[in-house]
């Protein structure tokens, strides 16, 4: 328009916010990044775990559910553990936003880690589903979600940039109790006041560094067994390990800033490793908070333990990688003596812990319901998640009958048919199962076959579809040309 007059009162926040548009935009971005992409990634992961757990129960190979194979269990446990981390981070951080916080550093952590974990969950779901996941069509409920995963990785700050520059770059200053005060004091135009503030912050910083060095050494030697915790219980040790690695991280950060100075921002690999340590400490903290918020259900402990162990093990390994690649080798040696005097003593989750998680994913349990809360599971023809869950519940009744036919019929020669419908009929004829049991098995077999089937299309249908797309393209181009006249 021309001669448009906009009163100053129309500025968001009034005249006092004139010229502050960029700051307001960045502040809102930090809030939006905590909500939109992390929530989308978490929702997709919940749906993937919900579907994959049921699919691993009803899909059989060598006469057993594929969820019984340890290779599948390892992947399914990883999916469930990652989804628990994502759900914890999403809910706890969203609650902080509702409380009026503007968490710029957690927003970067959530944006990077939740979208990356979402991509890993999508990949794992595709691996377990196999051909069911790669044959696109109306029956494929994973393919499009798998294809769209890179979008969340790229938008609102590419993940490569977020990890290597933003998370630690912001966190080192905003989360440090003295660095920001030192910077503000150095910028103070009142030199006398600035000098006094800087001296106070500097001596506080020195004391903070020495304290963290001592705490890091003592807790590393004692494995943090004497660290104070909010309350005792099954998660007590994880609070202690978080405290230990927090002291080690703070000590490593201070030494890095002291010895590398401004180069630390350009050393993106080192900055990225420290960002991972900070992120793992935050994520493990929200996992424990999420567990408390849900009432500390005992049956969820395997998920909590898997999540905390995975995160703290990664924090340890990233600290080790940071020290191994630190350019000042003398400083690296000193830090290693304080951080790892006994070497690396923390271990990743055990296989047994993963199997305990899978047990609750392959059947209808409260843990499975809490983990996948919010997924659309209404049973109707257009909702594969609801159909998968219904079939998984029916498997509890059908599997003992299938085992009876296999053991008492097939192995003894009383049942000779090769296909399930034929086996059911013969088992009924020889008296292994009743009419109602046969009806249950037929219904279960029908549902399973529909759910594991993939789409196939006649060549003529594909050619017709391609021609329709071409014709539509010509019509759109022609319409645009006419409109341009």
* Enzyme catalytic residues: 156
Distance CA 406, CA 124 (A): 31
Residues 6+ apart with CB under 8 A from 223: 244, 345
Q: Which long-range contacts (CB under 8 A, 24 or more apart) does 429-437 make?
A: 432/404, 432/405, 432/408, 433/401, 433/404, 433/405, 437/401
Residues 6+ apart with CB under 8 A from 177: 204, 208
Distance CA 92, CA 87 (A): 8
User: Bridge-partner residues for 60, per DSSP?
Assistant: 65
Residue 457 falls in which region: left (phi positive, over 0), alpha (psi -120 to 50) or beta: beta
What is the three-class DSSP state of 64? strand
Q: Comparing C-alpha atoms, which of 13, 145, 169, 63 is closest to residue 402? A: 63
Q: What is the Cα Rg of the chain in Å? A: 29
Distance CA 184, CA 439 (A): 77
Residue 135 DSSP class? S
370's tokens: 């809490």
| Length of the chain measured in residues | 485
3-state secondary structure string across 188-203? CCCHHHHHHHHHHHHH
Would the CA dihedral through 419, 420, 422, 426 be positive or negative? positive
Distance CA 46, CA 30 (A): 24
């Amino acid at each position: 328009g021309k001669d448009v007059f906009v009163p100053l009162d129309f500025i968001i926040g009034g005249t006092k916010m004139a010229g502050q548009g960029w700051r307001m935009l960045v502040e809102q971005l930090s809030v939006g990044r905590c909500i939109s992409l992390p929530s989308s990634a978490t929702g997709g992961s919940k749906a993937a775990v919900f579907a994959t757990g049921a699919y691993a129960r009803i899909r059989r190979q060598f006469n057993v559910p594929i969820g019984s194979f340890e290779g599948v269990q390892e992947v399914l446990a990883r999916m469930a553990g990652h989804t628990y981390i994502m759900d914890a981070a999403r809910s706890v951080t969203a609650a902080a936003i509702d409380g009026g916080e503007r968490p710029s550093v957690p927003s970067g952590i959530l944006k990077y880690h939740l979208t990356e974990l979402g991509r890993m969950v999508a990949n794992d779901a595709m691996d377990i589903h196999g051909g069911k996941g790669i044959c696109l069509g109306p029956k494929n409920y994973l393919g499009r979600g798998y294809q769209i995963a890179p979008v969340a990785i790229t938008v609102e700050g590419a993940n490569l940039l977020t990890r290597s520059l933003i998370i630690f770059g912001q966190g080192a200053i905003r989360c440090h109790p003295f660095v920001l005060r030192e910077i503000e004091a150095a910028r103070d135009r009142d030199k006398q006041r600035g000098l006094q503030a800087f001296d106070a912050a500097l001596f506080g910083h020195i004391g903070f560094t020495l304290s963290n060095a001592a705490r890091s050494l003592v807790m590393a030697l004692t494995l943090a067994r004497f660290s104070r915790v909010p309350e005792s219980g099954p998660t007590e040790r994880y609070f202690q390990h978080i405290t230990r690695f927090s002291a080690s991280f703070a000590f490593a950060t201070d030494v890095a800033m002291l010895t590398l100075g401004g180069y630390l921002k350009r050393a993106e690999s080192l900055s990225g490793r420290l960002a991972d340590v900070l992120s793992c400490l935050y994520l493990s903290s929200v996992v424990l908070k999420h567990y408390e918020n849900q009432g500390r259900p005992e049956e969820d402990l395997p998920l909590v333990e898997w999540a905390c162990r995975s995160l703290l093990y990664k924090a340890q390994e990233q600290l080790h990688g940071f020290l191994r690649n630190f350019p000042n080798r003398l400083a690296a040696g000193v830090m290693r003596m304080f951080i790892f005097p006994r070497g690396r003593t923390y271990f990743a989750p055990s296989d047994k812990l993963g199997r305990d998680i899978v047990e609750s994913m392959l059947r209808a349990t409260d843990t499975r319901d809490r983990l996948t809360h919010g997924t659309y599971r209404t049973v109707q023809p257009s909702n594969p998640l609801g159909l998968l869950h219904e079939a998984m519940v029916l498997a509890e009744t059908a599997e003992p009958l299938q085992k009876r036919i296999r053991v008492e019929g097939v192995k003894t020669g009383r049942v000779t048919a090769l296909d399930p419908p034929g086996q059911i009929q013969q088992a009924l004829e020889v008296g292994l199962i009743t009419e109602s049991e046969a009806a249950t098995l037929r219904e279960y077999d029908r549902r399973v076959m529909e759910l594991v089937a993939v789409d196939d299309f006649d060549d003529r249908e594909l050619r017709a579809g391609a021609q329709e797309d071409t014709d539509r393209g010509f019509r759109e181009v022609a319409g645009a040309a006419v409109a341009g006249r």
